[in-house]
């Protein structure tokens, strides 16, 4: 009896230890980078160009915003419409299984493969060169499965009664979807978009082969640009300045943490509403 007790104690210890370790891993990374990076972040760093003696990250921030806007402009409508089809129209069958297989597969493909594909297809074959457009289209395909799946989840939480009520009142199906179902699922859809923004902001491998690494504020979507994550990669691999690298990493982490917090709060809001 005593021995079981001891081994149980050890197992408890292992469980608590693991939980603590998981937590520590996160704190170690974020803490260390923010600790090293935060002192070198000031307004000049955020707002000046990267040229000559100036080492600001303003162009990278702008490029990242472009990348977010453009990839979402493509992925969000397509993703939401796909989810509507899957949830509101499709009956289980070969087609649905095919689409589901495709989204599952797409979400498992490593980003370097997307990079390879984007480089070949958008940059070379479609002659879009290394540009924000090439990068954004590549990223759009990459986040598409995420948008579809999370939107589907959100649509599922809309009670069937809403639809039935609307239809019973004589509204057409499309009106029901646009006026009743989508607004009810809005928070969930927004969450899916925020999660996608997180992936877009953090992506490197797929972007640096497709959007290039020009450090100027892009003048349009056919210009090449360097996102914040690519900038961090270049700083780290070129060893140009670790101080700048820490600072850029910190900015990146703050953005990601902010997005996560937002998604988290929205998700809690949804849970409260549905229960």
Of the two residues 47 and 97, which places its CB atom closer to another protein in the complex?
Answer: 97
22 contributes a contact to another protein by CB under 8 A: yes
- The C-alpha torsion from 219 through 225 and 147 to 173, rounded to 10°, is 20
**How many residues of this chain bind another protein (CB under 8 A)?**
134
Query: Kindly report the CA angle at 251 between 245 and 257, in degrees rounded to 5?
Result: 130
Residue with tokens 């959007």: 211
User: Contact with another protein (CB under 8 A): which of 194, 210, 244, 247?
Assistant: 194
Q: Which of 189, 163, 169, 199 is nearest to 64 (CA)?
A: 199
Does residue 6 interact with another protein by CB under 8 A?
no
Is 140 exposed, middle or buried, given 0-12, 13-18 or 19+ CB atoms closer than 10 A?
Answer: buried
Kindly indicate which of the ranges 40-48, 53-61, 240-248 contains the residues binding another protein, using the contact rule CB under 8 A: 240-248
Token pair 């491998």 is at which residue? Answer: 205
- For residue 243, what are the CA distances in angstroms to 36, 39, 79, 249, 256? 8, 9, 39, 10, 20
Applying CB under 8 A, which of residues 19, 38, 44, 47 lies at the interface with another protein?
19
- Considering only 40-48, 53-61, 205-213, which stretch makes contact with another protein by CB under 8 A? 205-213
Is 18 a binder of another protein (CB under 8 A)? Answer: yes
Q: Does 34 bind another protein (CB under 8 A)?
A: no
Residues 83-112 that bind another protein (CB under 8 A): 84-90, 92, 98-99, 101-112
33 is a site residue for another protein (CB under 8 A): yes
Pick between residue 44 and residue 260 the one whose CB is nearest to another protein.
260
Among 38, 42, 44, 81, binds another protein (CB under 8 A): 81
Residue 71 · residue 139 · CB < 8 Å? yes
């Amino acid at each position: 009896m005593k021995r079981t007790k001891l081994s149980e104690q050890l197992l408890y210890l292992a469980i608590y230890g693991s939980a603590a370790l998981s937590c520590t891993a996160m704190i170690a990374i974020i803490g260390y980078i923010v600790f090293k990076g935060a002192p070198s972040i000031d307004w000049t760093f955020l707002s000046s160009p990267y040229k000559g003696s100036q080492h600001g990250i303003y162009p990278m921030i702008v490029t990242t915003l472009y990348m977010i806007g453009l990839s979402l402009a493509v992925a969000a409508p397509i993703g939401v419409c796909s989810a509507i089809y899957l949830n509101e129209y499709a009956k289980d069958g070969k087609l649905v299984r095919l689409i589901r297989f495709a989204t599952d597969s797409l979400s498992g493909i490593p980003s370097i493969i997307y990079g390879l594909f984007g480089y070949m297809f958008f940059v070379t074959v479609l002659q879009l060169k290394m540009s924000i457009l090439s990068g954004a289209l590549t990223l759009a395909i990459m986040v598409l499965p995420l948008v579809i799946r999370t939107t589907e989840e959100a649509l599922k939480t809309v009670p069937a009664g809403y639809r039935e009520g609307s239809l019973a009142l004589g509204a057409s199906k499309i009106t029901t979807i646009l006026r009743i179902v989508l607004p009810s699922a809005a928070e969930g859809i927004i969450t899916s978009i925020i999660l996608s923004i997180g992936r877009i902001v953090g992506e490197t491998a797929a972007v640096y082969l497709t959007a290039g690494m020009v450090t100027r504020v892009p003048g349009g979507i056919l210009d090449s640009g360097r996102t914040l994550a690519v900038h961090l990669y270049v700083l780290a691999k070129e060893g140009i300045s670790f101080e700048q690298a820490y600072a850029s990493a910190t900015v990146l982490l703050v953005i990601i943490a902010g997005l996560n917090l937002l998604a988290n709060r929205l998700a809690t809001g949804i849970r409260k509403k549905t229960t």
